[in-house]
A and B are shown apart, each in its own frame.
Chain A
Amino acid sequence: MFWQQVVNAIWLGAVYSLFSLGYTLVFGVLGILNLAHPSLYMWGAFIGLMCVNAGLPLWLALPLAMIFSGLMGVLLDRIAFKTLRDRNAPHLATLISSIGASIFLISAAQGVFSAQVSRFPFGVFPVKVFTLGPVTITLLQISILAISLAIMLFLRWLLMGTKLGQATRAVAFNPVTAARLGIPVDRVIMQTFFLAGALAGAAGVLLGLAFNAISPFMGGPMNLKGLTVIVLGGLGNIEGAVLGGFILSFSEVMSVAYLSSDLRDAVSFVLLLIILLFRPNGLLGRSSAKRA
């Protein structure tokens, strides 16, 4: 029983982290809390579903959905954020703009797809169950875990091991200085939004497969989980988001298993409020308190 819960928490935590990485990346680079991020997640899931319905294999649907939601992220920045950034508008304006964009994307999905819950066709992924002693795990869960970890490692390499990553970190540190040093800040920002969107899209397809319930409103509950995760890790903190994802999934899974299933939703908010009040810079955050 206990080990089964651990297994469930691990693969769920990997997807939570995947979703939250893009969320926190945009905040780290631009200081923007992009509340439309969950809408990209939802669109990613729908695009993945459309690809599968169009007869494409899953291994092709996932990258296509990622590219699509990545481009959507770039478009989002061009339309909703760039003007405000150029004008040096206050935080409040950027937040409100992202809220508007998210409403737009959700309503658009309602119109284009349907307000109903859509599902992947049965058998799109081979149903295979492995039993290891007391633990059962499906091939789908193993694949989700493996894909999430692979994407996360790739992201880490991209940010720490390449020129692009160096430029991104420079812009996050100080955009003005970065521009002086000849870094194409605008391009770095576009790439950041592409990455964030792609990560959200990947999470959308994977969780869409796992729970097999895709609807225009699936971003709502995920949004609050994502916020909890990135606040746990400290806004803008990449490693923190991964840690936060697993902390949230373990708290959720364990409280459902050992306390009550009604508490699943309450867990993340209790965690969120506690962290906000006592460690607003996150578990890994330094106490510079400048951003809080």
Chain B
Amino acid sequence: MTVFTQFWSTYGSVVQFALINMLLGISIYFTLYTGLLSLANAGFMAVGAYVSAILTIHAGTPLPISLLAGAFSAGFIGWLLGLPVLRLRDVYLAIATLGFGEIVRITAVNFDKFSGLTLLGGAQGLDGIPKLTTPAGLIFSLILLSFFLIQFHRSRAGRALAAIRRDENVAATMGIDVAGYKLLAFVLGAFVAGLAGGFSAHLTRFVGPNDFTFSAAVNILAFAVLGGTAHWAGPLLGAAILTVLPEALRFMGEYRGIVNGLILVLVILYLPRGLFNPKWLTRRKEAGHAQA
């Protein structure tokens, strides 16, 4: 028991960050699974973080309500953004979503000045958020999400997303509503990212506009790329590794960030399907239908 308490007092926060990052990994999994490269998830995370934090601070709502409000707001913003932006493909979609992250940052910095309120805290950010996130809450959401994902892959929508990734034109010819399902994947991803943002705000007790820029978006992408997107467990594995790795690499000091970049390049070059192999789960029988 004491061993556990000791471990928890040292690594408890790392574990909780890993769990939040797993949520983020799932959030980008939705779009990658559909074959879309969206870098907007850090921005959605910011939306969820700000909305939930403001509700907790000013309205005193209990955590689950704040979290859900944050997640739904992120989902709603995702819907608004997705409507026009998802008409773009490949590189153009990546550029547009990159721009969105920056818009969120600029809004967060300037909102108070232009509205005359003291809500988002401008460039200083918002602190003094009560620490309400618990490991149990995080684990509960992850289990719930995993259960949802298992069901989702067997559903009509799940198969439609897989078909769109394989070949958009063929999918459209088969009568799949390509635009609609893309929007669905985008909004689901935004929702989960918003949820993760809420958890993170109530764990670090702080939300700042510079926490959600390009590098945050890239980190989220790295979770999914490292773990692989052939199966939803891939991003979970990737997030766990990439959260723990910096702790293990403390001795590298300033050079720590290099490893993240290197991993991204090496995995894409030599392990294009990521670390997680769906065959681990299916053993002999047919390889999982979700194979890339």
| A interface residues, Cβ below 8 angstroms from B | 27, 33, 79-80, 83-84, 89, 91-93, 95-97, 99-108, 110-111, 115, 220, 223-224, 227, 231, 235, 262, 265-266, 269, 272-273, 276-277, 280, 292
- Contact at A266–B268, with CB atoms within 8 Å? no
Name the CB-closest residue of B to A271.
Answer: B99
Report the Cα distance A108→B96, complex, angstroms. Answer: 28
Q: B265's contact among A33, A97, A235, A280, by CB below 8 Å, is which?
A: A97
- Contact at A107–B256, with CB atoms within 8 Å? yes
CB within 8 Å for A273 and B92 given contacts A84-B269, A99-B221, A103-B261: no
28 pairs of residues in contact across A and B, judged by CB atoms under 8 Å: A79-B265, A89-B268, A89-B272, A92-B35, A95-B91, A96-B264, A99-B221, A100-B263, A101-B261, A103-B215, A103-B264, A104-B258, A104-B262, A105-B261, A107-B257, A107-B261, A111-B253, A111-B255, A115-B254, A223-B214, A224-B98, A231-B95, A262-B109, A265-B106, A266-B103, A272-B96, A272-B99, A276-B92
CB within 8 Å for A266 and B106 given contacts A104-B262, A107-B258, A107-B261: yes
Number of A-B contacts (CB under 8 A): 119
Report the Cα distance A84→B213, complex, angstroms. Answer: 27
For B264, the chain A residues whose CB sits under 8 A away are: 96-97, 99-100, 103
For A95, the chain B residues whose CB sits under 8 A away are: 37, 91, 94
Name the CB-closest residue of A to B94.
Answer: A95
Q: A106's contact among B257, B268, B269, by CB below 8 Å, is which?
A: B257
Q: Does B289 have its Cβ within 8 Å of any Cβ on chain A? A: no
Q: Which of B84-138 contact A (CB under 8 A)?
A: 84-85, 87-92, 94-96, 98-99, 102-103, 106, 109-110, 113
Q: How far is the CB of A255 from chain B (nearest CB, A)?
A: 13
Report the Cα distance A8→B94, complex, angstroms. Answer: 31
Report the Cα distance A265→B207, complex, angstroms. Answer: 21
For A84, the chain B residues whose CB sits under 8 A away are: 268-269
- Contact at B102–A224, with CB atoms within 8 Å? yes
CB within 8 Å for A102 and B91 given contacts A93-B272, A262-B113, A266-B106: no
Known: A106-B257, A110-B255, A280-B88. 15 other contacts (CB 8 A): A33-B94, A33-B95, A80-B265, A93-B268, A93-B272, A96-B268, A99-B221, A103-B257, A103-B264, A106-B261, A111-B254, A227-B99, A262-B109, A272-B99, A276-B85
Q: Does B146 have its Cβ within 8 Å of any Cβ on chain A? A: no
| Size band of the interface chain B makes with A | 35 or more
Report the Cα distance A227→B264, complex, angstroms. Answer: 22
Q: How far is the CB of A57 from chain B (nearest CB, A)?
A: 31
- Contact at B261–A235, with CB atoms within 8 Å? no
Cβ contacts B244-268/A at 8 Å (1 or 0 each): 0000000001111110111111001
Majority secondary structure of chain A interface residues (helix, strand, loop or mixed) = helix
For B37, the chain A residues whose CB sits under 8 A away are: 91-92, 95-96
For B98, the chain A residues whose CB sits under 8 A away are: 224, 227
Majority secondary structure of chain B interface residues (helix, strand, loop or mixed) = helix
| B interface residues, Cβ below 8 angstroms from A | 32, 35, 37, 84-85, 87-92, 94-96, 98-99, 102-103, 106, 109-110, 113, 213-215, 218, 221-222, 225, 253-258, 260-265, 268-269, 272
For B253, the chain A residues whose CB sits under 8 A away are: 111
CB within 8 Å for A110 and B95 given contacts A100-B263, A105-B261, A292-B89: no
For B87, the chain A residues whose CB sits under 8 A away are: 277
Report the Cα distance A111→B258, complex, angstroms. Answer: 9
For A280, the chain B residues whose CB sits under 8 A away are: 88, 92
**Which 9 pairs show the lowest CB-CB distances between chains A and B?**
A100-B264, A104-B261, A107-B257, A103-B261, A100-B265, A111-B254, A111-B255, A107-B258, A33-B91
For A266, the chain B residues whose CB sits under 8 A away are: 103, 106
Q: How far is the CB of B99 from chain A (nearest CB, A)?
A: 5
CB within 8 Å for A101 and B92 given contacts A93-B272, A227-B98: no
Report the Cα distance A79→B265, complex, angstroms. Answer: 9
Q: How far is the CB of A10 from chain B (nearest CB, A)?
A: 25
- Contact at B265–A104, with CB atoms within 8 Å? yes
Report the Cα distance A21→B164, complex, angstroms. Answer: 34
